[in-house]
A and B are shown apart, each in its own frame.
Chain A
Amino acid sequence: MSSSQSPRKVHLVGSRIRELRKGRRLTQTELSEMIGVAQSDLSRMEQGEYKVGLDTLFKILQVFDLKMAEFFGETESPTTPEARSLVADFQTLSEEAQREVRDFVRFKKQQEQPEDSMPGVPEDEKA
């Protein structure tokens, strides 16, 4: 049985941690000291054998200080200049503004759904 694989999210896995570490030119020893685990455990983690608690996982994310586009680099990186610009602008917004943008995008997506796929709307009210 495999783990949950959300289509909307990128899954952090050991091999990705290794790539990101190498991208930051960090040795296993350096990263393991930064996140407070033994080097041998980090090695096991990169091989997918070692799992950790939330505190350690968040330290890893913090050390890498990822840009989202970078994390999605393998699979879903925006390819057009306009999309890249949008992502860059989004990242400069305040937390509150980012939430408003997300809500607006969600609203627009709902608006663009075909009417007959709207849940909970009786047939005679769709016309």
Chain B
Amino acid sequence: MSDRRKHLEFLRKTAKDAIWSGDYDRALTLYDDGLGLARGWKDRDLEDLFTCNRATTLLEMDRQDFDLSRLKEILLRNPFSFNGALAAHTCARAHELRGEPSRARFYAQTALQKSRDLGFDDILASSYNVLGNLELRESRFEEARDLFEEALGHLQSRGDETSCLAAQYADNLGYCHIALDHVETGLPLVRRAVDLFEHHGARQALDYPCLDICFASVKTKQLEEAEVWGVQALALGKEFARNDVVKNSHYLLAETYSEMGKEPEADEHYEALADFYPNFPALKNYLRQISLMDVINLRA
């Protein structure tokens, strides 16, 4: 590997670590630097690689201010290389977050096929994960469970059982089991994800695992447990400005306190949740009397 490539690989690794720890701005700066260097060196492969990585970072930041057609161009120019598979995978994530499941599925299947044919295990596992997420959003929990098992299996088959990716797939798989009312199977997977994320210092990734444990605990009436994890999920959601996590946390905490008979605390969270819906003034009254636990999907 040339010195130039080594330097850019170092930038990529540092940027990936920054993403897991929630320092997206730093990751973006590193990818921008790498992209500038690759362009200066007129190294098309590295430029394509950094273009994909930069787009992935923006997606993690809930931003879509990048040129999606550029990713598709990379895919077309590189039908039989790592960059092509990575571009397909990034397109899938972009369409997923834009709420375009059919297109997301198409590009995820493309990434899956290419990475399987060419032997890129990372992208292969990650493509299964994207496909699992798409099933999960549509409440196809059994299909999603099978895809997350595939994703996790591919990591494990090459000895990776402790990375942040392994934690992410384990959490997704655990949530599927919990949603299917197999809490006793799902909860250990989610707890393992929490341990791994904490071990890696990946604070930003802890929000959904915390929410999932809270959800499982409300289901099984472990209310003290639900309170602890719900409070943690809420704090993380606020810290990383994730409204979906904040709203779900408020709802689960309100249900928890309501089950505990702590109506004033429950009201606080119902009110905080209702603040997100100013055009629905009756919402609080409904939530005080109607439980949505049987029809809610935290990942929809």
Report A's interface with B, CB cutoff 8 A.
1-4, 6, 8-14, 17, 41, 44-45, 48-54, 56-58, 61-62, 66, 68, 71-72, 95, 98-99, 102, 106
Beyond A3-B293, A10-B291, 19 additional pairs, beta carbon < 8 A = A4-B255, A4-B293, A6-B258, A9-B290, A12-B294, A12-B295, A13-B294, A17-B295, A45-B295, A51-B139, A53-B297, A53-B299, A57-B292, A58-B277, A61-B283, A62-B280, A66-B286, A68-B289, A71-B289
A22 to chain B, nearest CB (A): 17
Give the nearest-CB partner of A53 in chain B: B300
Query: Given that A54-B292, A58-B280 are contacting pairs, would A4 and B259 also be in contact in the complex, using a CB cutoff of 8 Å?
Result: yes
Q: B76 in the interface, Cβ–Cβ < 8 Å?
A: no
B residues near A12, Cβ cutoff 8 Å: 290-292, 294-295
Q: Check B219–A13 contact: CB distance below 8 A.
A: no
A26 to chain B, nearest CB (A): 18
Q: B90 in the interface, Cβ–Cβ < 8 Å?
A: no
Q: Check A51–B184 contact: CB distance below 8 A.
A: no
Q: Check A54–B248 contact: CB distance below 8 A.
A: yes
Q: Check A11–B293 contact: CB distance below 8 A.
A: yes
Measured in the bound complex, the distance between the Cα atoms of B300 and A66 in whole Å is: 24
Measured in the bound complex, the distance between the Cα atoms of B285 and A61 in whole Å is: 11
Query: Given that A51-B179, A61-B283 are contacting pairs, would A9 and B291 also be in contact in the complex, using a CB cutoff of 8 Å?
Result: yes
B residues near A57, Cβ cutoff 8 Å: 292, 295-296
Q: Check B296–A54 contact: CB distance below 8 A.
A: yes
A residues near B219, Cβ cutoff 8 Å: 1, 3-4
Q: Check B139–A44 contact: CB distance below 8 A.
A: yes
A residues near B25, Cβ cutoff 8 Å: none
Q: Check A4–B300 contact: CB distance below 8 A.
A: no
Q: Check A10–B290 contact: CB distance below 8 A.
A: yes
**CB-CB nearest 6 A-B residue pairs:** A51-B297, A53-B300, A9-B291, A50-B139, A11-B291, A51-B139
Measured in the bound complex, the distance between the Cα atoms of B251 and A88 in whole Å is: 27
**Per-position binary interface string of chain B over residues 190-216, scored 1 when its CB falls under 8 Å from any chain A CB and 0 otherwise:** 000000000000000000000000000
Q: Check A9–B258 contact: CB distance below 8 A.
A: yes
Measured in the bound complex, the distance between the Cα atoms of B286 and A71 in whole Å is: 10
Q: Among A3, A61, A62, A102, which residue has its beta carbon within 8 angstroms of that of B294?
A: A3
Give the nearest-CB partner of A1 in chain B: B181
A residues near B159, Cβ cutoff 8 Å: none
B residues near A45, Cβ cutoff 8 Å: 295
Q: Check B285–A3 contact: CB distance below 8 A.
A: no
Measured in the bound complex, the distance between the Cα atoms of B96 and A78 in whole Å is: 47
A residues near B220, Cβ cutoff 8 Å: 1, 4
Q: Check B296–A6 contact: CB distance below 8 A.
A: no
Query: Given that A54-B248, A56-B300, A58-B283 are contacting pairs, would A72 and B289 also be in contact in the complex, using a CB cutoff of 8 Å?
Result: yes
B residues near A14, Cβ cutoff 8 Å: 295
B residues near A71, Cβ cutoff 8 Å: 289-290
Measured in the bound complex, the distance between the Cα atoms of B279 and A58 in whole Å is: 11
**A-facing residues in B221-268 (Cβ within 8 Å):** 221, 244, 247-248, 251, 255, 258-259, 263, 267
A residues near B280, Cβ cutoff 8 Å: 58, 61-62
Q: B123 in the interface, Cβ–Cβ < 8 Å?
A: no
Q: Check B295–A13 contact: CB distance below 8 A.
A: yes
Query: Given that A1-B220, A4-B219 are contacting pairs, would A51 and B289 also be in contact in the complex, using a CB cutoff of 8 Å?
Result: no
Q: Check A49–B285 contact: CB distance below 8 A.
A: no
Q: Check A106–B286 contact: CB distance below 8 A.
A: no
Give the nearest-CB partner of B263 in chain A: A106
A51 to chain B, nearest CB (A): 4
Measured in the bound complex, the distance between the Cα atoms of B184 and A53 in whole Å is: 23
